[in-house]
Protein backbone atom coordinates (compact mmCIF):
# COMPACT_ATOMS: atom_id res chain seq x y z
CA UNK A 1 0.00 0.00 0.00
CA UNK A 2 2.71 2.46 0.96
CA UNK A 3 4.10 2.48 -2.59
CA UNK A 4 0.74 2.63 -4.43
CA UNK A 5 -0.77 5.81 -5.88
CA UNK A 6 -3.51 5.58 -3.22
CA UNK A 7 -0.96 6.41 -0.52
CA UNK A 8 0.35 9.48 -2.37
CA UNK A 9 -1.50 12.69 -1.41
CA UNK A 10 -0.33 14.23 -4.70
CA UNK A 11 -2.29 11.62 -6.68
CA UNK A 12 -5.12 10.48 -4.40
CA UNK A 13 -8.27 12.44 -3.59
CA UNK A 14 -7.98 11.25 0.00
CA UNK A 15 -7.31 8.13 2.00
CA UNK A 16 -9.01 4.76 2.22
CA UNK A 17 -12.32 6.35 3.19
CA UNK A 18 -12.72 8.19 -0.10
CA UNK A 19 -10.80 5.81 -2.38
CA UNK A 20 -12.84 2.73 -1.47
CA UNK A 21 -15.77 4.31 0.34
CA UNK A 22 -17.06 6.21 -2.70
CA UNK A 23 -18.03 2.88 -4.28
CA UNK A 24 -20.32 2.13 -1.32
CA UNK A 25 -21.63 5.71 -1.32
CA UNK A 26 -22.55 5.25 -4.98
CA UNK A 27 -24.42 2.06 -4.06
CA UNK A 28 -26.19 3.86 -1.20
CA UNK A 29 -27.43 6.46 -3.69
CA UNK A 30 -28.51 3.69 -6.10
CA UNK A 31 -30.66 1.98 -3.46
CA UNK A 32 -31.80 4.97 -1.37
CA UNK A 33 -31.76 7.98 -3.68
CA UNK A 34 -30.08 11.25 -2.76
CA UNK A 35 -28.24 11.32 0.56
CA UNK A 36 -29.01 14.42 2.62
CA UNK A 37 -26.95 14.20 5.85
CA UNK A 38 -23.64 12.72 6.97
CA UNK A 39 -21.45 12.36 10.04
CA UNK A 40 -18.01 10.81 9.76
CA UNK A 41 -14.86 9.68 11.56
CA UNK A 42 -11.69 8.54 9.84
CA UNK A 43 -8.63 6.94 11.35
CA UNK A 44 -4.93 6.48 10.86
CA UNK A 45 -4.12 3.43 12.99
CA UNK A 46 -1.55 1.42 11.10
CA UNK A 47 0.01 3.26 8.15
CA UNK A 48 1.12 6.10 10.42
CA UNK A 49 3.96 7.22 8.14
CA UNK A 50 1.28 8.14 5.59
CA UNK A 51 -0.70 11.36 5.77
CA UNK A 52 -3.92 9.82 4.43
CA UNK A 53 -6.49 7.91 6.48
CA UNK A 54 -6.37 4.11 6.52
CA UNK A 55 -10.02 3.74 7.48
CA UNK A 56 -13.26 5.49 8.19
CA UNK A 57 -16.87 5.20 9.28
CA UNK A 58 -19.84 7.33 8.34
CA UNK A 59 -23.58 7.51 8.97
CA UNK A 60 -25.90 8.83 6.27
CA UNK A 61 -29.55 9.83 5.98
CA UNK A 62 -31.35 9.77 2.65
CA UNK A 63 -34.05 12.13 1.44
CA UNK A 64 -36.64 9.39 2.04
CA UNK A 65 -35.56 9.06 5.71
CA UNK A 66 -33.63 5.81 5.28
CA UNK A 67 -30.26 5.51 7.00
CA UNK A 68 -27.00 3.86 5.94
CA UNK A 69 -23.69 3.12 7.62
CA UNK A 70 -20.29 2.66 6.01
CA UNK A 71 -17.08 1.15 7.35
CA UNK A 72 -13.99 0.89 5.17
CA UNK A 73 -10.47 0.07 6.31
CA UNK A 74 -7.08 -1.12 5.16
CA UNK A 75 -6.52 -2.92 8.45
CA UNK A 76 -9.22 -5.56 8.03
CA UNK A 77 -6.41 -8.00 7.29
CA UNK A 78 -8.71 -10.58 5.76
CA UNK A 79 -10.27 -9.14 2.60
CA UNK A 80 -13.94 -8.49 3.28
CA UNK A 81 -16.79 -7.12 1.21
CA UNK A 82 -20.27 -7.05 2.70
CA UNK A 83 -23.18 -4.89 1.57
CA UNK A 84 -26.54 -5.21 3.33
CA UNK A 85 -29.90 -3.60 2.64
CA UNK A 86 -32.72 -4.07 5.15
CA UNK A 87 -36.32 -3.06 4.53
CA UNK A 88 -39.79 -3.53 5.99
CA UNK A 89 -40.42 -6.72 4.00
CA UNK A 90 -36.99 -8.33 3.92
CA UNK A 91 -33.31 -7.89 3.18
CA UNK A 92 -30.54 -8.57 0.73
CA UNK A 93 -26.94 -9.20 1.63
CA UNK A 94 -24.11 -9.29 -0.93
CA UNK A 95 -20.77 -10.69 0.15
CA UNK A 96 -17.46 -11.40 -1.57
CA UNK A 97 -16.05 -9.98 -4.77
CA UNK A 98 -14.40 -13.13 -6.03
CA UNK A 99 -10.67 -13.75 -5.75
CA UNK A 100 -9.24 -13.01 -2.31
CA UNK A 101 -12.61 -11.61 -1.19
CA UNK A 102 -14.31 -14.99 -1.48
CA UNK A 103 -17.17 -16.31 -3.58
CA UNK A 104 -19.72 -13.69 -4.55
CA UNK A 105 -22.87 -14.53 -2.61
CA UNK A 106 -26.31 -12.94 -2.54
CA UNK A 107 -28.67 -13.78 0.34
CA UNK A 108 -32.32 -12.78 0.10
CA UNK A 109 -34.58 -12.93 3.14
CA UNK A 110 -38.30 -12.16 3.19
CA UNK A 111 -40.42 -11.28 6.19
CA UNK A 112 -42.89 -14.03 6.96
CA UNK A 113 -44.21 -14.28 10.51
CA UNK A 114 -46.18 -17.44 9.69
CA UNK A 115 -43.20 -19.61 8.70
CA UNK A 116 -39.73 -20.46 10.02
CA UNK A 117 -37.06 -17.98 8.99
CA UNK A 118 -35.15 -18.84 5.88
CA UNK A 119 -33.17 -17.00 3.29
CA UNK A 120 -32.40 -17.82 -0.31
CA UNK A 121 -28.67 -17.90 -1.08
CA UNK A 122 -27.24 -17.56 -4.58
CA UNK A 123 -23.53 -18.03 -5.24
CA UNK A 124 -21.80 -16.62 -8.31
CA UNK A 125 -18.77 -18.78 -8.99
CA UNK A 126 -18.05 -17.87 -12.61
CA UNK A 127 -15.95 -15.07 -13.99
CA UNK A 128 -16.79 -11.41 -13.42
CA UNK A 129 -19.35 -10.40 -16.06
CA UNK A 130 -19.95 -6.90 -14.69
CA UNK A 131 -17.44 -5.17 -16.98
CA UNK A 132 -18.99 -6.74 -20.09
CA UNK A 133 -22.47 -5.77 -18.86
CA UNK A 134 -21.32 -2.17 -18.31
CA UNK A 135 -19.90 -1.98 -21.84
CA UNK A 136 -23.13 -3.44 -23.25
CA UNK A 137 -25.15 -0.82 -21.35
CA UNK A 138 -22.87 1.97 -22.61
CA UNK A 139 -23.19 0.76 -26.22
CA UNK A 140 -26.99 0.51 -25.86
CA UNK A 141 -27.15 4.04 -24.43
CA UNK A 142 -25.18 5.36 -27.40
CA UNK A 143 -27.37 3.49 -29.90
CA UNK A 144 -30.55 4.69 -28.18
CA UNK A 145 -29.26 8.25 -27.67
CA UNK A 146 -29.82 8.20 -23.89
CA UNK A 147 -27.77 8.46 -20.74
CA UNK A 148 -26.38 5.15 -19.46
CA UNK A 149 -27.76 3.70 -16.24
CA UNK A 150 -24.63 4.75 -14.32
CA UNK A 151 -22.86 7.86 -15.53
CA UNK A 152 -20.34 10.52 -14.58
CA UNK A 153 -22.98 12.44 -12.63
CA UNK A 154 -23.28 9.45 -10.28
CA UNK A 155 -19.52 9.55 -9.75
CA UNK A 156 -19.60 13.30 -9.15
CA UNK A 157 -22.38 12.91 -6.58
CA UNK A 158 -20.52 10.09 -4.79
CA UNK A 159 -17.47 12.37 -4.56
CA UNK A 160 -19.66 15.22 -3.28
CA UNK A 161 -20.97 12.90 -0.55
CA UNK A 162 -17.44 11.77 0.40
CA UNK A 163 -16.04 15.30 0.52
CA UNK A 164 -18.98 16.42 2.68
CA UNK A 165 -18.24 13.47 4.99
CA UNK A 166 -14.63 14.63 5.37
CA UNK A 167 -15.90 18.15 6.13
CA UNK A 168 -18.34 16.73 8.71
CA UNK A 169 -15.43 15.03 10.42
CA UNK A 170 -13.32 18.19 10.35
CA UNK A 171 -16.16 20.20 11.93
CA UNK A 172 -17.22 17.31 14.21
CA UNK A 173 -20.83 17.84 13.11
CA UNK A 174 -23.53 16.15 11.13
CA UNK A 175 -23.69 18.14 7.91
CA UNK A 176 -26.24 18.46 5.12
CA UNK A 177 -25.16 17.05 1.77
CA UNK A 178 -25.90 19.59 -0.92
CA UNK A 179 -26.91 17.80 -4.09
CA UNK A 180 -25.78 19.06 -7.44
CA UNK A 181 -29.22 18.21 -8.78
CA UNK A 182 -28.37 14.70 -9.96
CA UNK A 183 -30.66 11.91 -8.88
> Of all residues in the chain, what percent carry a pLDDT higher than 70?
98
Is 51 part of a structural domain of the chain? Answer: yes
Return the pLDDT at 116: 83
Predicted structure pTM score:
0.87
Return the pLDDT at 130: 86
* Structural domain harbouring 54: 5-176
Is 165 part of a structural domain of the chain? Answer: yes
Is 183 part of a structural domain of the chain? Answer: no
Helix (H, G, I), strand (E, B) or coil at 26: helix
CATH number at residue 94: 3.30.360.10
How crowded is the C-beta side of 173, counted as CA atoms within 13 Å? 6
Is 182 part of a structural domain of the chain? Answer: no
Is 101 part of a structural domain of the chain? Answer: yes
Q: What would the pLDDT profile of 139-152 be if each residue is shown by its tens digit?
A: 999 999 999 998 89
pLDDT, the chain, mean: 91
Do residues 32 and 64 lie in contact, with contact meaning Cβ atoms separated by under 8 Å?
yes
Is the pLDDT confidence value at 157 over 60?
A: yes
Nearest to 29 by CA among 82, 107, 85, 109: 85
> Of all residues in the chain, what percent carry a pLDDT higher than 90?
65
* Longest Cα separation, the chain: 58
Return the pLDDT at 36: 98
Task: In whole angstroms, give the CA distance from residue 71 to residue 41.
Answer: 10
Q: What is the DSSP letter of 29?
A: H
Is 15 part of a structural domain of the chain? Answer: yes
Looking at per-residue pLDDT, the higher value among 136 and 11 belongs to 136
- Strand 35-43 and strand 55-62: the pairing is antiparallel
Q: What would the pLDDT profile of 100-156 be if each residue is shown by its tens digit?
A: 888 999 999 998 888 888 899 999 988 888 889 999 999 999 999 999 998 899 999
Return the pLDDT at 181: 58
Q: Which helix (H) or strand (E) holds 12?
A: none
Torsion of CA 39, 163, 14, 137, to 10 degrees: 110
Structural domains of the chain, count = 1
Q: What are phi and psi of 13, to 5 degrees?
A: -70, -25
Q: What would the pLDDT profile of 55-78 be if each residue is shown by its tens digit?
A: 999 999 999 999 999 999 988 888
Is 157 part of a structural domain of the chain? Answer: yes
Mean pLDDT calculated for residue range 150-169 = 94
Mean pLDDT calculated for residue range 5-27 = 88
Is 181 part of a structural domain of the chain? Answer: no
Is the pLDDT confidence value at 183 over 70?
A: no
Amino acid sequence: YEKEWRADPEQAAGGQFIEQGTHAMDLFRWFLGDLTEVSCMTSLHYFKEQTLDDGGMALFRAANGATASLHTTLIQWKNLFSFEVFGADGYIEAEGLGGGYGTETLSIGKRDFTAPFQDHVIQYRGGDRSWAAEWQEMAAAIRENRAPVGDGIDGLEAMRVALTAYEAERKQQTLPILSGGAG
